[in-house]
Amino acid sequence: MSMTSLPLRVASTPLELRPDRSLWWPDAKTLVVSDLHWGKVNTFQAAGVAMPGALQVQDLIRLDRALEETSAQRLLVLGDMVHSKQGMTPTLCALIREWRQNRPVALVLVRGNHDRSAGKLPEDWQIELVESLEEGPFRFVHEACDGPGYGWAGHLHPACTLRGRGDSLRLPCFVVGKKQGILPAFSEFSGGAAPPRGAELYAVAGGRVIPVAAG
């Protein structure tokens, strides 16, 4: 499927909202994602819930494709890269270790609530951990909050509902407000929360990013 990104300017900076749920910052050669929730499938499986392991692999393939298509030199994760301590199984750790060996891009993690509860991450994942990151006109955090510059966050897994002719469709979306934006969860194995009001919404649908009515 061909995919079409949506270019826009935020804080006078060119960006692209990508239909794989990532944000591309070309000037910084940085791909920004949020809420990967690696190990969520393993966590459910450990609790006795039958879940296909392919979900996790598919997310990793999508991430790898995004890095390849953008030629990104850095991957910036806005929190909740992993889901839980229980999900950090030997199988998951080996999968990510192999992926990092094949994709040695700089990896920066803004720690989220799930990352903190999961404990120490494997050293061979080669991750730089930060609590927040201020760079250029932007401030990158996990949970949206007031601060200097234009803020980008994750955490909420925003999703919007499109309605028409008696039917409705719920889609992950980017939120772009006046002072801060929120990325959709990159993981396709995630729920969705109503986006905050007063911001522009951009839904991910059918290989495209499309503007919808403001929230």
Task: Read off the pLDDT of residues 106-147 as tens digits, 9 standing for 90 and up.
Answer: 999 999 999 999 889 999 999 999 999 999 999 999 999 999
Which residue is it, tokens 């905050």? 196
- The first and second tokens of residue 89, run together, are 């199984």
Give the pLDDT of residue 128: 97
- Of 73-82, 87-96, 109-118, least confident by mean pLDDT is 87-96
pTM of the model: 0.91
The domains located in the chain, with CATH, are 6-158+175-189 (3.60.21)
Task: Read off the pLDDT of residues 144-191 as tens digits, 9 standing for 90 and up.
Answer: 999 999 999 999 999 998 876 667 788 999 999 999 999 999 998 777
Edge to edge, the sheet with strand 106-110 lists: 6-10, 13-17, 23-25, 30-33, 74-77, 106-110, 128-130
